[in-house]
Amino acid sequence: MTSERAADNPARILVIDDELAIRRFLHTVLNSEEFALHEAEGGHAGLAAAAAFRPDVILLDLGLPDLDGVEVIKRIREWSQVPIIVLSVREREDDKIAALDAGADDYLTKPFGVGELLARMRAALRRSLQQAPEPVFASGDLVMDLTLRRVTVKGEDVQLTPTEYDLLRLFVNHAGKVLTHSMILKQIWGIAYQEQPHVLRVNISNLRRKIEADPSRPRHIITEPGVGYRLVPER
């Protein structure tokens, strides 16, 4: 079994999508992975199901007939931090940014691969099961000790500026999750810097030079084109 829960306590997945073919496809895939599945065809039904079914992950389409998916995300975020993965045909960067800034955890464009969807779901489930960040984060040769404020690569200490450290810590606390440019700028520099992406680019470049074996081909902090960045945990 590949799901994150035992067979007698399967992870609950809520699919909110008005397209019958997609729901049938997801039903087949998720049932084969032993998830407990609930479906809703529209935004209002999805909100009601989110409250009643208490899912562990929500798979959400943006183009719903009665309520836009971004509005669904905003309403759910008023009372729940359940992981939300958007599955949408909308490919524009603005749509992705709007969904992620509203509180979505991830975004996949239709059509998507089953393997990638399941990997994103497993990552979301792992994040939701963590009550607090682990004091020591390890990903390949990168280790960050949040208690000692120490960062090492291949066992060697890495000297980070306070801003670079705060930036890496933000990624570690949201490992596997897409962080938009505006989200990062607001968290690290404040609201006044939300429209200054060059500040972020410079600091990401400096951070990559210190933690990546090949900064031109990063494997820890990857770029989500036009949207933001993601820290990809390695086992």
**Residue 100's pLDDT band (boundaries 50, 70, 90)?**
very high
**Range of weakest confidence among 77-86, 124-133, 146-155:** 124-133
Distance separating alpha carbons of residues 183 and 173, to the nearest angstrom: 14
Q: What is the pLDDT of residue 193?
A: 83
Q: Could you tell me the CATH superfamily of domain 12-129?
A: Response regulator (3.40.50.2300)
C-alpha dihedral (186, 190, 193, 197), degrees to nearest 10: -40
Interval 137-148: pLDDT, tens: 999 999 999 888
**Range of weakest confidence among 3-12, 25-34, 178-187:** 3-12
Mean pLDDT of 14-26: 95
Token pair of 76 as six digits: 């759910």
Q: What is the pLDDT of residue 2?
A: 43
Q: Where are the domains of the chain?
A: 12-129, 136-231
Q: What is the CA radius of gyration of the chain?
A: 18
Distance separating alpha carbons of residues 87 and 60, to the nearest angstrom: 6
Interval 76-88: pLDDT, tens: 998 888 999 999 9
Q: What is the pLDDT of residue 81?
A: 86
- Is domain 136-231 given the CATH code 1.10.10.10 in the classification? yes
* Whether residue 3 has pLDDT greater than 50: no
Tokens 């520099």 locate to: 189
**Residue 108's pLDDT band (boundaries 50, 70, 90)?**
very high
* pTM, full prediction: 0.76
* Whether residue 195 has pLDDT greater than 90: no
